[in-house]
Amino acid sequence: MLIVYQRLLAYGVAVGSTAIALPLSLWLEPLISRTIGGFFYIAIIVSTWYGGFRPGIVTVLLSTLAIDYLFIPPRSQFWINSPQELLRLSIFLLVALVINLLTSNLQHSRQKIKQLSQKLAQENAKQLRMALSAAHMGMWGLGYGDRRNQVVARTRTVIRLGCWKF
């Protein structure tokens, strides 16, 4: 149930970040009429960073549809009359897809590094426990026999525990 909730939340962030970018872009349109994609790029980064590649794609598609419908003439239609506007929307879509891909790859790499780091720490802890165990077992031999027998006993213990490799 928790996994389903996390996935739904990721798509909620995708839709929500696009919903935030839209009114900001509409409100600031007179000031940024030619560069309408800025807030949508931020929405794509946030949703991809939080939810991964697929929620990022949802944000890319919603953003592209919002830009086409509300910012590109003729407004309130999903139709593009001029090649310049088609080029403008195509460039937005290309940049948005690249941002989504790079952000999801970065997030995936960070997760992989974290997993490998934890695995390495566990392996190092295991080796340290073996070495400490070997040192502890070798210490029991200090009080008996002659010196040569003590060295042989410690060497056998270390070899048996697998700390030395030949």
Q: Give a yes or no: residue 140 inside a domain.
A: yes
Same domain, 84 and 110: yes
**Helix (H), strand (E) at residue 117:** helix 83-139
Q: Is there a domain that residue 111 lies in?
A: yes
Residues 45, 122 share a domain: no
Q: Quote the domain boundaries for residue 134.
A: 118-161
Flag the least confident range among 23-27, 56-60, 69-73. 23-27
Q: What is the mean pLDDT of residues 144-149?
A: 54
- For residue 105, give Cα distances in angstroms to 21, 42, 162: 23, 17, 39
Q: How many domains are contained in the chain? A: 2
Is-contact 150 142, C-beta < 8 A?
yes
Task: Convert the pLDDT of each residue in 86-141 to its tens digit.
Answer: 888 888 999 999 999 999 999 999 999 999 999 998 888 888 888 777 766 655 54
Q: Does 68 share its domain with 47? A: yes
Same domain, 31 and 98: yes
> Which contiguous run of DSSP H or E holds residue 120?
helix 83-139
First to last CA, the chain: 51
Tell me which H or E stretch contains 2: helix 2-28
| 166 has pLDDT over 50 | no
Do 90 and 128 belong to one domain?
Answer: no
d(CA 47, CA 68): 20
Q: Return d(Cα 78, Cα 68) in angstroms, integer.
A: 6
Judge whether 166 lies within some domain.
Answer: no
The C-alpha atoms of residue 145 and residue 148 are separated, in whole angstroms, by 8
**pLDDT, mean over the chain:** 80
Clarify whether residues 134 and 84 are in a common domain.
no
